[in-house]
Amino acid sequence: MKRAITRLESESPGDAAAKTIAEATYRRLRDDLTGWRYAPGVKLPFKELAEAYRVGVSPLREALSRLASERLVLASGQRGFRVPPVSADEMWEIIKLRQLLEREALVDSIAHGDAAWESEIVAAFHRLTRQPAGASAPGDSLSDWDRRHRDFHGALLGACSSQWLLHFIGILYHQSERYRRLRFQRADKSALPRDVDREHREIMDATLARKPRLAGELLVRHLARTGEAAAAALTDPFPVPTPAKRPLNGSKTRVTRAKR
């Protein structure tokens, strides 16, 4: 009998159990948005998206509407949907909120976690570190490492008793992913001198040792480093095509390319 706990993402495998077209389109769009298939500021016209994803306007509209409620797209009046711009200020807003919420959730998770929760963390860490941090596969905008990374952070908080806390953390996680993956838009993938595996291991160790203070502090630092890395990518002029009046510069034609 499993615990009635929602993970960061309910679907465990690739795209299991998308009961409805709107749901499937929502997930595809979400992954493509966080994976920078569309540049910030560009318009997302119904016609092009509908034929790109091979769906009608109704499920597409529902998908966009849901994404707007999570601020992964911007909905303006009767003027359609746009990709939100990026800004360092907003990025730090998101990081600071994640620090506040995820620390709280981790402390709660440590207080409530049982043996099954512990082994889930260990398993997720194992899967994460045994896999190279390869770039995204060309067909899929969400790489295996991204998935494992998400699952590891989800496992840490898996025993948190507050569904609402996890709900908000999930939304912020996707936002954060969007900024984190800005780096991979760059040609050179020179990482900051950072040992992510080690950071994850330290968080895991403190969590399993049931030291909420320490674990929370390590998690907060981990998130801060993530923010710094994203901030570095933000200062680079290349990947941020600050939307001029008409942002249809090359990247818009990519919208029309059918996803096969």
- Strand order of the β-sheet with 43-44 is 43-44, 81-82, 74-75
Would residue 210 be called left, alpha or beta, if left means φ above 0 and alpha means ψ between -120 and 50 degrees?
left
69 binds a copy of itself, rule: CB under 8 A:
yes
What SS3 state is found at 43?
A: strand
- For a copy of itself, the binding residues in 1-20 under the rule CB under 8 A are 19-20
Alpha-carbon distances of 176 from 52, 149, 150, 229, rounded to whole Å: 26, 13, 11, 12
Alpha-carbon distances of 240 from 87, 89, 183, rounded to whole Å: 9, 14, 11
The site partner of 69 among DNA, a copy of itself, none (C-beta below 5 to 8 Å per kind) is a copy of itself
Closest CA to 182 of 83, 35, 32: 35
243 binds DNA, rule: CB under 7 A:
no
Out of 45, 100, 167, 213, point to the residue binding DNA (CB under 7 A).
Answer: 45
- Whichever of 169 and 204 has its CB closer to a copy of itself, that residue is 169
130 binds DNA, rule: CB under 7 A:
no
Out of 7, 9, 24, 90, point to the residue binding a copy of itself (CB under 8 A).
Answer: 90
- Whichever of 49 and 204 has its CB closer to a copy of itself, that residue is 49
77 binds DNA, rule: CB under 7 A:
yes
Out of 7, 27, 43, 96, point to the residue binding a copy of itself (CB under 8 A).
Answer: 96
Q: Give the integer Cα–Cα distance in Å for 54 and 135.
A: 27
82 binds a copy of itself, rule: CB under 8 A:
no
Alpha-carbon distances of 22 from 64, 121, 193, rounded to whole Å: 9, 32, 41
167 binds a copy of itself, rule: CB under 8 A:
yes
Amino acid (one-letter) located at 17: A
249 binds a copy of itself, rule: CB under 8 A:
no
Burial of 85 (0-12, 13-18, 19+ CB in 10 A): middle
- For DNA, the binding residues in 217-236 under the rule CB under 7 A are none
Alpha-carbon distances of 62 from 11, 21, 25, 56, 157, rounded to whole Å: 19, 10, 9, 11, 30
The site partner of 167 among DNA, a copy of itself, none (C-beta below 5 to 8 Å per kind) is a copy of itself
The site partner of 165 among DNA, a copy of itself, none (C-beta below 5 to 8 Å per kind) is a copy of itself
Q: Compute how many residues bind DNA; rule: CB under 7 A.
A: 24
93 binds a copy of itself, rule: CB under 8 A:
yes
Q: Which residues contact 161 (CB under 8 A, 6 or more apart)?
A: 108, 112
CB of 246 to DNA, least distance (A): 7
Q: Rule CB under 7 A: which residues touch DNA?
A: 19-23, 43-47, 55-59, 61-62, 75, 77-81, 246
Q: Rule CB under 8 A: which residues touch a copy of itself?
A: 19-20, 22, 58, 61-62, 65-66, 69-71, 77-78, 90, 93-94, 96-97, 100-101, 104, 161-165, 167-168, 172, 175
